Amino acid sequence: MIELEGLTKRYGGKLAVDNLTFTVRPGVVTGFLGPNGAGKSTTMRMMLGLDRPTAGDVRIDGRHYDRLTDPLKYIGALLDAKAVHGGRSAHNHLLCLAQSNGIPARRVHEVLDAVGLTAVARKKAKGFSYGMGQRLGIAAALLGDPQILMFDEPVNGLDPEGIHWIRHLMKSLAAQGRTVFVSSHLMSEMALTADHLVVIGQGRLLADTSMAGFIAQNSRSYVRIRTPQRERLLDVLHEAGITAVESGSGVLEIDGGKPERIGELAAQHHIVLHELSPQQASLEEAFMQLTAESVEYHAHTDTPARPWGADWQKGD
């Protein structure tokens, strides 16, 4: 478990993290979201004792990071995949980490195998592709078999197979009862991986909720209907006190409507339906709705800005 209490970080005049209080619990994958510059990396760095808070506190299983003996046995983190001594082989890099943290050398082989780097274990890390560097960073995080894992943008630079692999890795680590805390800009990926979400904007907590709750609270849910008997259906719905709006191309939309009730009404009145589908906004839409006010770095373009889509991720 990771507990934050009033965590605050100021860089000169810039309040990067503003009084954050939340708990990251074991057994689920918790996604950490926020627009660029929201303070995610700064928060993660303070969790790991790499940055000193201006105020407030972070506890890892009840203790401060700098009070943990052999910290890699408590918390493993992937923050910056490039932070590897490039002149060392993957094997030697992990061996050095193991030796300085009281971890048996056999774990090096186990984690190299777990991340699929056994074949290149003796190669120098500086020759690694970005994706291989990510895998090596993940191997280092897993080295001490910790109960808490933290990943900052873990799918960056990974190919589809790698993304699939890390999604399953995170879910299985959580299913083993571990605490898994992961930041990502890739909303579609987060929607598939995280059970719980913590969202920040301009350093402040915007949401701390389940994935389903987050989408329900921050987006519109409605029922979409297509029928060749539009006027007839509108009359029947009106009589039943249900308001439908027309959204073009003959499509009707009912906010918060129950498809069962609408289907039954249509059947009772022998109205043909070509479509009756519940609609829920995606995580990306819900996220953009919630954070619209706290996006600091807007794109200036004539086309609508979609800073959280998969296309944006490519240029990250």
Ligand X SMILES: Nc1ncnc2c1ncn2[C@@H]1O[C@H](COP(=O)(O)OP(=O)(O)OP(=O)(O)O)[C@@H](O)[C@H]1O
Q: What CA dihedral angle connects 23, 114, 86 and 81, to 10 degrees? A: -30
In 3D, which of 62, 97, 96 has the Cα closest to residue 77? 97
CB-count burial class (<10 Å; 0-12, 13-18, 19+) for 246: exposed
Q: Are 192 and 176 in contact (CB under 8 A)?
A: no
How many C-beta atoms lie closer than 10 Å to residue 155's C-beta?
25
Measured CA to CA, the distance from residue 19 to residue 9 in angstroms comes to 8
Measured CA to CA, the distance from residue 38 to residue 296 in angstroms comes to 8
- The smaller minimum CB distance to ligand X, of residues 275 and 316, is found at 316
Distance of CA 67 to the CA centre of its chain: 28
- 3-state DSSP assignment of residue 276: strand
- 3-state DSSP assignment of residue 166: helix
CB-count burial class (<10 Å; 0-12, 13-18, 19+) for 167: middle
3-state helix, strand, coil in the chain (%, to 5): 40, 25, 35
Q: Are 202 and 185 in contact (CB under 8 A)?
A: no
Q: The tokens of 268 are what?
A: 């009772």
Phi, psi angle pair for 45, to nearest 5°: -65, -40
In 3D, which of 80, 7, 48 has the Cα closest to residue 148? 48
Residues that bind ligand X (CB under 6 A): 11, 14, 16, 34, 36-42
